[in-house]
């Protein structure tokens, strides 16, 4: 299922419902078929989402550092890893959140709002 986000001040974003669910849960919104971020809700939602992204980045850096110390990951072989070659290394929260954070920022600058719509609750 797809979720369509429309901003009163910027363009439109379409996301998979499972990805949008993750983002909405982080900011404390219900995953309903229709919803809104008002201009008053945007600053807190942006800060909460950015904090989650920053925490994940830190955790990933720490895990990589620990793996290097334990000899699990070697800088010279990272490019040869099958996951990296195939593009299956995974999408992180920061990558999923980036379009929404950008939309939120542009919308906040214009004192607008963001609506989302899906065929059903997700």
Distance separating alpha carbons of residues 82 and 23, to the nearest angstrom: 29
Domain contains 9: yes
Query: Tens digits of per-residue pLDDT, 23-72?
Result: 999 999 999 999 999 999 999 999 999 999 999 999 999 988 888 888 87
- State yes or no: pLDDT of 85 exceeds 50: no
Tokens at residue 19, please?
């990805």
- State yes or no: pLDDT of 81 exceeds 70: no
pLDDT tier, 75 (very low <50, low <70, confident <90, very high otherwise): low
Domain contains 79: no
The 8 Å CB, 24+ separation contacts for 29-32 are: 31/121, 31/122, 32/121
Phi–psi pair at 72, nearest 5 degrees: -75, -35
Domain contains 82: no
Distance separating alpha carbons of residues 35 and 17, to the nearest angstrom: 13
Domain contains 80: no
- State yes or no: pLDDT of 76 exceeds 70: no
Domain contains 15: yes
- Domains in the chain: how many in total? 1
Domain contains 54: yes
What domain range includes position 11? Answer: 2-74+90-117
Domain contains 62: yes
pTM of the entire structure? 0.81
């Amino acid at each position: 299922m797809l979720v369509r986000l429309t901003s009163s001040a910027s363009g439109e974003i379409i996301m998979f419902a499972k990805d949008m669910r993750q983002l909405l849960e982080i900011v404390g919104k219900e995953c309903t078929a229709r919803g809104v971020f008002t201009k008053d809700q945007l600053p807190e939602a942006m800060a909460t989402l950015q904090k989650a992204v920053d925490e994940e980045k830190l955790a990933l850096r720490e895990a990589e550092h620990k793996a290097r110390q334990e000899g699990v990951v070697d800088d010279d072989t990272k490019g040869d890893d099958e996951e990296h070659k195939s593009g299956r290394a995974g999408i992180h929260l920061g990558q999923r959140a980036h379009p929404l954070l950008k939309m939120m920022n542009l919308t906040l600058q214009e004192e607008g709002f963001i609506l989302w719509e899906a065929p059903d609750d997700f």
